[in-house]
């Protein structure tokens, strides 16, 4: 197995032997008095870590692990609340710390996502955020402000502090660098760390960040309401989503210079929904839309804007139609929306989505339960030399792509007047054809070893098989930026012919640093990354 130090081309002292034994009493001795070891257990190479049954958020057990010490710790937090964290401490340590993130409202130690990290050699940590629940279940938050605050930011920070106490004691060696990688809620957790706790990490990968909790959750209700009730004449049934997608593809695909099923620049496509209108007596009414349904399309592709032109949330991208079932296939909004007023804002389980209005959105904005939403002033993180790589899939319907664009631009607005060049420490990359955090259904080059991605290739995968370098692997790109000052201008995405075999490559393409976009140079194999260049839209 290639180690991170070799990949970066420099040697570092690797610790092969630990100073502490992997036992509850030895780990306990390294902990502050507010933390208690649940278990500490040495696993030989190629073990399976059996996830405890109570970990309902992340029940999957990682297999084929390198030799390591698996630790679970409970920490006392505010009030009577606690949070837990898990650690994988590999025998063959690369000297670095990596924290991974969570998803949705889920509570649980994400042992599965810790596995790729420990395969690189990182001492890897995940927090349960202070509760146990599935991704879409927010009921734990009802009248529990302390639990919400733990989920919002306290548990990630507190778990990081504990991990950074245990790791040097365990190896009897200082940690060289501290990293974070998470997607979705995990992306939010990373940006929140940069905002509030700039000393925790040197580098952060924040994928598809759910950074604007107080607006994303209300939008989740709003967007579903456009297509409800299912009995309305304007309702677009899921059986027509593919019809809409086909038309969007017809009108928008070739705008990036190549007709390949991948829309790279949805915002510059002037899509005309009326081309989908049914005629007087349609021969086939399952491949066209009525005038009221066309009106629904306009809403879906429009920003959520309130009274006095107040911007609340960006629209669904053109090209997201294959992902619309997340929000638009049921007779009610996704529980990630409804659960927010019910449980986080305290309206109760009986609150109905039909009662959603702008006042609910404005109240959410004012109260921001758990301080979960990320603010734009990242100047402390910049000042201490921290680096952030963020990215977002362009067919993500869970969290509209432009929410990252908005965040990046707002950070720029906040920091440029302070004399800070945002690209000197925070870079955003948009991934044409990628869905939420991972995957594609248009054969787009979506894989770059981002958080949550490796598991899609196989249970023992880490990095980018066949391309274990900083040009193709976003985590290695971050390490190179933090440790060697190599600024990432682009990251090459990979699409394998068959993901689970991941031997043969179908296509590779650069993912460009925003606001640049990948453009075909006009000759050469379109499936070869070398045939593409990163250009400003106006170039």
Instruction: Show the binding pattern over residues 191-210: x = contacts ligand NAG (CB under 6 A), - = does not.
Output: -----x--------------
169 binds ligand NAG (CB under 6 A): no
> Which of the stretches 75-83, 230-238, 331-339, 404-412 binds ligand NAG when contact is defined by CB under 6 A?
75-83
Q: Which two tokens stand for residue 210?
A: 């759910």
How far is residue 454's CA from residue 304's CA, in Å, rounded to a whole number?
34
308 binds ligand NAG (CB under 6 A): yes
**Residue 107 carries which DSSP code?**
B
Instruction: Show the binding pattern over residues 311-340: x = contacts ligand NAG (CB under 6 A), - = does not.
Output: ------------------------------
6 binds ligand NAG (CB under 6 A): no
User: Cβ contacts of residue 283 below 8 Å, gap of 6+?
Assistant: none
158 binds ligand NAG (CB under 6 A): yes
137 binds ligand NAG (CB under 6 A): no
| Catalytic-labelled residue, pool 327, 436, 462, 472 | 436
H or E stretch including 70?
Answer: strand 68-76
CA angle 495, 500, 501 (to 5 degrees): 85
> Which of the stretches 125-133, 404-412, 445-453, 523-531 binds ligand NAG when contact is defined by CB under 6 A?
125-133
Which of 287, 365, 377, 443 forms a contact with ligand NAG (CB under 6 A)? 287
500 binds ligand NAG (CB under 6 A): yes
Backbone torsions φ then ψ of 337, nearest 5 degrees = -90, -65
268 binds ligand NAG (CB under 6 A): no
156 binds ligand NAG (CB under 6 A): no
Comparison of 39 and 536: residue with beta carbon closer to ligand NAG: 39
220 binds ligand NAG (CB under 6 A): no
H or E stretch including 431?
Answer: strand 426-431
Are 104 and 136 a contacting pair, CB within 8 Å?
yes
Answer yes or no: 436 catalytic.
Answer: yes
* DSSP 3-state of 252: helix
> Which of the stretches 184-192, 338-346, 403-411, 493-501 binds ligand NAG when contact is defined by CB under 6 A?
493-501
**Footprint (CB under 6 A) of ligand NAG, residues 226-255:** 243
Burial class (CB in 10 A: 0-12, 13-18, 19+), 1: exposed
Answer yes or no: 373 catalytic.
Answer: no
412 binds ligand NAG (CB under 6 A): no
# residues contacting ligand NAG (CB under 6 A): 30
277 binds ligand NAG (CB under 6 A): no
> Which of the stretches 51-59, 184-192, 294-302, 405-413 binds ligand NAG when contact is defined by CB under 6 A?
51-59
309 binds ligand NAG (CB under 6 A): no
Provide the total of helices (H) and of strands (E) in the chain, helices listed first. Answer: 16, 15
Which of 11, 174, 279, 307 forms a contact with ligand NAG (CB under 6 A)? 307
Comparison of 30 and 161: residue with beta carbon closer to ligand NAG: 161
How far is residue 19's CA from residue 17's CA, in Å, rounded to a whole number?
7
Q: Shortest CA distance to 304 belongs to which of 296, 295, 316, 292?
A: 316
Which of 270, 281, 284, 309 forms a contact with ligand NAG (CB under 6 A)? 284
Are 32 and 165 a contacting pair, CB within 8 Å?
yes
Which of 227, 338, 371, 531 forms a contact with ligand NAG (CB under 6 A)? 371
| Catalytic-labelled residue, pool 91, 202, 253, 396 | 396
How far is residue 174's CA from residue 69's CA, in Å, rounded to a whole number?
18
Which of 6, 25, 46, 302 forms a contact with ligand NAG (CB under 6 A)? 46
How far is residue 449's CA from residue 353's CA, in Å, rounded to a whole number?
37
489 binds ligand NAG (CB under 6 A): no
Answer yes or no: 396 catalytic.
Answer: yes
Comparison of 357 and 424: residue with beta carbon closer to ligand NAG: 357
H or E stretch including 82?
Answer: strand 82-90
189 binds ligand NAG (CB under 6 A): no
Instruction: Give a three-class secondary structure readout of 8-25.
Output: CCCCCCCECCCCCCCCHH
Are 151 and 70 a contacting pair, CB within 8 Å?
no
84 binds ligand NAG (CB under 6 A): yes
* DSSP 3-state of 306: strand
**515 prior amide bond cis, ω within 30:** yes
55 binds ligand NAG (CB under 6 A): yes
Backbone torsions φ then ψ of 32, nearest 5 degrees = -70, 165
Cross-strand pairs, 82: 76
Are 534 and 489 a contacting pair, CB within 8 Å?
yes
Which of 75, 210, 269, 449 forms a contact with ligand NAG (CB under 6 A)? 75
Backbone torsions φ then ψ of 445, nearest 5 degrees = -75, 95
Q: Shortest CA distance to 212 belongs to which of 410, 422, 352, 431?
A: 410
Which of 25, 34, 172, 357 forms a contact with ligand NAG (CB under 6 A)? 34
Binding site for ligand NAG (CB under 6 A): 32, 34, 38, 46, 52, 54-55, 64, 75, 77, 79-80, 84, 128, 131-132, 146, 158, 161, 196, 243, 284, 286-287, 307-308, 371, 498, 500-501
Give the residue numbers marked as catalytic. 184, 396, 436
């Amino acid at each position: 197995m290639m180690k991170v130090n070799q990949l970066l081309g420099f040697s570092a002292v690797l610790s092969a032997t630990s100073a502490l034994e992997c036992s509850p009493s030895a780990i306990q001795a390294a902990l502050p008095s507010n933390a208690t070891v649940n278990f500490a257990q040495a696993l030989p190479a190629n073990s399976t870590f059996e996830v405890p049954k109570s970990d309902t958020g992340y029940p999957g057990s990682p297999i084929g692990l390198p030799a390591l010490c698996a630790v679970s710790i409970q920490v006392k937090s505010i009030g009577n609340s606690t949070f837990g964290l898990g650690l994988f401490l590999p025998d063959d340590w690369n000297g670095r710390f990596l924290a991974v993130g969570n998803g949705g409202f889920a509570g649980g130690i994400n042992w599965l996502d810790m596995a790729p990290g420990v395969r690189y050699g990182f001492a890897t940590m995940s927090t349960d955020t202070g509760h146990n629940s599935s991704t879409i279940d927010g009921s734990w938050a009802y009248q529990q402000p302390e639990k919400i605050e733990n989920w919002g930011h306290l548990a990630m920070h507190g778990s990081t502090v504990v991990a950074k106490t245990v790791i040097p004691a365990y190896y009897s060696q200082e940690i060289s660098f501290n990293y974070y990688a998470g997607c979705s809620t995990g992306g939010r957790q990373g940006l929140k760390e940069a905002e509030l706790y700039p000393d925790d990490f040197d580098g952060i990968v924040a994928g598809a960040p759910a950074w604007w909790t107080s607006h994303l959750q209300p939008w989740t209700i709003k967007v579903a309401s456009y297509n409800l009730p299912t009995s309305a004449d304007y309702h677009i049934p899921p059986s027509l989503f593919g019809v809409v997608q086909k038309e969007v593809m017809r009108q928008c695909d070739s705008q990036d210079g190549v007709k390949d099923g991948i829309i790279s620049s949805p915002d510059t496509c002037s899509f005309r929904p009326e081309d989908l209108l049914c005629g007087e007596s349609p021969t086939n009414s399952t491949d066209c839309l009525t005038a009221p349904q066309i009106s629904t399309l306009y809403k879906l592709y429009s920003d959520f804007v309130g009274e006095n032109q107040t911007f609340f949330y960006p629209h669904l991208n053109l090209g997201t139609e294959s992902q619309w079932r997340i929000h638009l296939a049921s007779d009610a909004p996704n529980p990630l929306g409804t659960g927010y007023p019910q449980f986080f804002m305290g309206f109760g389980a009986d609150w109905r989505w039909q009662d959603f209005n702008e006042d609910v959105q404005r109240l959410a904005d004012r109260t921001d339960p758990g301080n979960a939403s990320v603010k734009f002033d990242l100047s402390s993180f910049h000042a201490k030399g921290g680096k952030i790589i963020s990215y977002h899939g362009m067919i993500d319907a869970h969290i509209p792509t432009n929410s990252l664009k908005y965040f990046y631009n707002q950070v720029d607005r906040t920091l440029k007047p302070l004399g800070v060049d945002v690209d000197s420490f925070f870079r955003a990359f948009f991934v044409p054809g990628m869905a939420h955090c991972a995957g594609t259904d248009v054969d787009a080059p979506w894989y770059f070893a981002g958080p949550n991605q490796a598991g899609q290739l196989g249970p023992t995968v880490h990095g980018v098989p066949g391309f274990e370098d900083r040009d193709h692997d976003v985590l290695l790109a971050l390490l190179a930026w933090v440790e060697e000052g190599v600024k990432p201008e682009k990251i090459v995405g990979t699409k394998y012919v068959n993901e689970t075999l991941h031997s043969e490559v179908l296509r590779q393409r650069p993912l460009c640093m925003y606001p640049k976009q990948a453009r075909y140079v006009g000759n050469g194999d379109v499936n070869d990354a070398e045939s593409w260049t990163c250009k400003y839209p106006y170039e």
